[in-house]
Chain A
Amino acid sequence: MKFPVRAPVSTLVALGGGWLILLAYIFGLEGLRATILGWVVLVSAAGLLLGVLNLAAVHFGKLRGGARNALYSFLLIVSMFVTFVVTAWLGPEHAAPQWVFDYLLLPVEASLVAVMAVTLTFAAARLLSRRVDLFAILFVAFAILTLMGSGPLLGINLPIVSDLLRPWLAQVLAGAGARGILIGVSLGTITTGLRVLLAADQPYGG
């Protein structure tokens, strides 16, 4: 087992905080747990602000270095600055920041969702040329069957596929697979957390 030596203060805070929250959860000390989590939420909010500053600093650096596509960095910094000033000045409930959100941010993200649909269709078509194995074949076959059974095709619900096959695939096979995957993820989550608490992982500079 590796013991922390390089960053004793951050290690102590991380391990102490982590173990306190875990023990408070086990022994039902809700007040203590809520207090510590409240502190963490405050620090996270400061982290969010630092994240925004980091984003601006990276793009400012690109702009200064004359990187390729520096125009995008310029647009990002200007729009970030304008949005920040407008929101800080007028408040987030005012019509102007709401307009930025409704008519700029949402449409841009919606257009990326539209790109997603094309990307996924293309990826599914390409999957079998890139990786020909049993799981890839099953993945594509089940995806096609589920799509065929999901809605009326030219106004007609496909018999057997729509009313029997698709519900069976979605609820029995996919449901069982999803549960298996989620059990694996849960076990992985527990061991990852405990590795941090045992200082085998030190993502805080230790």
Chain B
Amino acid sequence: MNLAMLVVVLYFVGAMIAFSILSRRQKERNLRDIPAFYRLQGALELAVEDGTRLHVAIGRSDITSPQSAAALAGLSMLRRIATVASESDNPPVATAGDGVLAILAQDTLRAAYQQLGLFGAFENDLGRVTGLTPFSYAAGTIHLVRDEEVSANLLAGSFGIEAALIANAGERRQILTLAGSDTLTGQAVLFATAHEPLIGEELFAGAAYLGAGPLHDASLHAQDLARWLVAAGLVAGALFGLFLGFLT
């Protein structure tokens, strides 16, 4: 039996439920400021007013790998964006570098259209595959950014260095690019190329900032608490090691 995993799961489930119940008693949401999401909210409102399009790239990752969590975070944001912007003249479009992720993107958009009573307006190519290798995905996405009246780019998924090409395409068209990845190389190149890079766990917090619901907010609080516990454990471990070093 994997006891450590059981403890982690029980902690997170318990903390998420507890914070969710606690948050019902509070009038204000208590989330730290991440300016990127305020700019995304602004870009979303502007896109609806202007009749321009938001592009959400959810990257390329195998659904059976841990990297799929980044794509799931991207899909969560796509759902929120689609719920707000699907009535626009140019509804949001999602790109993926994997067939399964593209199907999930279509399902996510379809559900948002259904929720808004716009099911007839839904088209399958709003969630599409633009390439199946890292660079072919980037090359296909660059075309979309350039040709389809995109007013803001959100890269939320698992990306490597190829993300720089997509972010650069946005820069050349002078449109806002917010981007996060779960890989270190992806985050490094996006820090240099995106207008608003999302570092570390910020990528996974996106849906909460777009108003996805109390359980999303609660999961961020659970995550913050866990981070403090891990940091405290690391410091305690280092001090203990130092102490043992002095003794021997």
Contact = CB atoms under 8 A, between A and B. Distances in A.
A40 to B, nearest CB: 5
Contact of B13 (A6, A198, A203): A198
Interface in B86-116: 96, 98-100, 102-104, 107-108, 110-111, 114-115
Contact of B204 (A37, A109, A189, A198): A189
Interface in B200-238: 200-201, 203-205, 207, 212-216, 219-220, 222-223, 226-227, 230
B9 interface: yes
A20 B8 CA distance: 17
A124 B191 CA distance: 9
A48 B129 CA distance: 10
Interface residues of B, number: 84
Nearest to B72: A192
Contact of B16 (A27, A69, A194): A194
Nearest to A1: B215
A191 B223 contact: yes
Interface string B1-35: 11001101100110011001000000000000000
Contacts of B2: 25-28
Contacts of A26: 1-2, 5-6, 9
Given A112-B135, A187-B227, A191-B12, 5 more contacts: A61-B125, A112-B138, A112-B139, A126-B171, A201-B207
Contacts of A109: 133, 135-136
Nearest to B17: A1
Interface in A77-127: 105, 108-109, 112-113, 115-116, 119-120, 122-124, 126-127
A181 to B, nearest CB: 5
Contacts of B16: 191, 194-195, 198
A72 B201 CA distance: 38
Contacts of B45: none
Given A40-B64, A50-B99, A200 B213 contact: yes
Interface of B: 1-2, 5-6, 8-9, 12-13, 16-17, 20, 62-64, 66, 69-70, 72-73, 75-76, 79, 96, 98-100, 102-104, 107-108, 110-111, 114-115, 124-125, 128-133, 135-136, 138-140, 143, 147, 161-162, 164-165, 167-168, 171, 182, 184, 187, 189, 191-193, 195, 199-201, 203-205, 207, 212-216, 219-220, 222-223, 226-227, 230
13 contacts: A1-B215, A26-B9, A109-B136, A112-B135, A112-B138, A120-B193, A123-B167, A184-B227, A188-B73, A191-B220, A195-B76, A203-B72, A203-B107
A195 B230 contact: no
Interface string A176-206: 0010111111011111111110101111111
Interface of A: 1-2, 6-7, 10, 22, 25-28, 37, 40-41, 43-44, 47-52, 54-55, 57-58, 61, 67-69, 72, 105, 108-109, 112-113, 115-116, 119-120, 122-124, 126-127, 130-131, 135, 139, 178, 180-185, 187-196, 198, 200-206
A49 B98 CA distance: 10
Contact of B128 (A58, A135, A182): A58
A188 B204 contact: yes
A119 to B, nearest CB: 5
B189 A6 contact: no
A203 B219 CA distance: 17
Contacts of B219: 191-192, 194-195, 200
Given A27-B1, A47-B100, A188-B203, A116 B164 contact: yes
A41 B99 contact: no
Q: Which of A37, A44, A188: most chain B CB closer than 10 A?
A: A188
Contacts of A202: 111
Contacts of B189: 120, 123
B168 A193 contact: no
A190 B72 CA distance: 12
